[in-house]
Homo-oligomer: A and B are copies of this chain.
Amino acid sequence: MSEFLQVANAAKEASRLLAPLPRAAKDTALRAIADALVARAEEIVEANAADVAKARQDGTSEAMIDRLRLDVPRIGKIADAVREIAELPDPVGEVVRGSTLPNGLELRQIRVPLGVIGIIYEGRPNVTVDAAALCLKSGNGVLLRGSSSAYSSNTALVKIMQEALEATDVPAGAVQLVPGLTHESAKELMRARGLVDVLIPRGGASLINRVVEESSVPVIETGVGVCHVYVDAAADQERALAILVNAKAQRVSVCNSAETLLVHEAIAAEFVPKAMAALTEAGVTVHGDPAFAAVGGAAVVPVTEEEYSTEYLSYDIAAAVVPSLEGAVAHITRYGSGHTDAIVTDSQTAAKRFVALVDSAAVAVNASTRFTDGGEFGFGAEIGISTQKLHARGPMGLPELTSTKFVYVGEGHVRG
């Protein structure tokens, strides 16, 4: 048996013991993990130093190194996040629906853990702990496959979590790091149908596409956000400017930031110059189509069609003038990623139509795209934002890490 299969089998076995545990057992285990992370912070910092040194050697940018770096205060925050997850309600055991059937059978549909969740992720080592905590809270085992750049940190974090679980009712095997960083081990994870119940890739478009293409395990796609702000003919333009700048520039590196501005042609001559001024002041470069450039002035950089479907994740925004609301919807349908698209309008009819026609995880009316977030929605925590339609769409909290089971109880009922 490969090293991967040993680990995956261990996670599966542990998940069977974990699934029926009551909330108190899981919360105690999460607090033990938080305590251990704080108590062994120096050990984590040391392991992380090896990753940082290697990244520096590899010529990684300082911005990326900063994302990778762990220090004692950051570890404290990671532990706090685990404690917050312990405070959240347990989704497992919730009766989703139930009835007594006409024949007297008592039918209930009950929330149960998925089993083993595989997470393939890039970048920051805090995801290692965050994802593990969310999976444990929802009664699932977890197989973690982080990036090679954080392997030393992730190894230390998983070891500390496992050792913390030893003293609790949650089996230590429920949290596993996928051994090695070979393509082979990623491939094994993606083909482990039956052992792994769902794979959640967290990262850029290329990672997600590769997982979707190669995986026979069901996948939940997350996080690619080509979000649009459409400024309608009937928009309150001051609101539109505030929403536009917030959606683009409040934090540029996240999936719910705006990447494209669409302006109705009826107001383009009036609105575009104001938008250019506001965006320029916010440090944003605007890549516009000819119609946009015609009213936007010399600061408008020509846009390519490819840019319309690309996440800049930077102080850049694509821009186009559209002939109508339907034209905006057609643009979004063609180039968007189905994450979040906003309309700014005072027309109830336009808002209703936009909401009906835009086929995205979230549609914002007179609000910034930046609100599409588990925390903002009040879900308490999120494992990612699904841009697919199956199982979960939009911010995924703890209930999205569960399945359901039908239970029916009779008194010798047979079917006639």
Contacts and interface: CB of A to CB of B under 8 A. Distances in A.
Interface of A: 16, 19-20, 99, 101-102, 105, 107, 109, 112, 114-115, 193, 197-198, 212-213, 216, 218-220, 236, 238-239, 242-243, 245-247, 250, 333, 351, 355-357, 359-368, 370-372, 376-378, 388-391, 393-395, 403-415
A331 B131 CA distance: 32
Contact of A408 (B359, B371, B403): B371
Looking at chain A's contact residues, the main secondary structure is mixed
B414 A333 contact: no
16 contacts: A16-B333, A16-B357, A107-B377, A115-B359, A197-B390, A198-B389, A242-B414, A361-B406, A364-B407, A364-B408, A367-B412, A368-B413, A390-B390, A391-B391, A393-B405, A394-B404
Contacts of A356: 19-20
Contact of A362 (B394, B405, B412, B415): B405
Contacts of A219: 218
A364 B245 CA distance: 56
Task: List the 8 closest A-B pairs by CB distance, nearest first.
Answer: A367-B410, A239-B412, A246-B414, A389-B403, A367-B413, A370-B415, A391-B391, A362-B406
Given A359-B405, A366-B410, 16 more contacts: A16-B357, A19-B359, A101-B378, A109-B394, A115-B359, A197-B389, A218-B219, A242-B414, A243-B413, A243-B414, A246-B414, A250-B415, A362-B407, A366-B411, A367-B412, A394-B405
Nearest to A109: B394
Nearest to A212: B216
Contacts of A245: 414
B414 A368 contact: yes
A369 B200 CA distance: 33
A365 B412 CA distance: 8
A411 B242 CA distance: 11
A92 to B, nearest CB: 11
A409 B366 contact: yes
A390 B250 contact: no
A362 B193 CA distance: 20
Given A101-B377, A218-B218, A394-B406, A242 B197 contact: no
Contacts of A372: 406, 408
Nearest to A389: B403
A376 B245 CA distance: 54
Given A114-B389, A219-B218, A394-B404, A368 B198 contact: no
Contacts of A376: 101, 415
B333 A365 contact: no
Contacts of A250: 414-415
A407 to B, nearest CB: 5
A235 to B, nearest CB: 10
B212 A193 contact: yes
Contacts of A112: 359
A108 to B, nearest CB: 10
Contacts of A366: 409-413
Contacts of A198: 389-390
Contact of A218 (B99, B246, B390, B408): B390
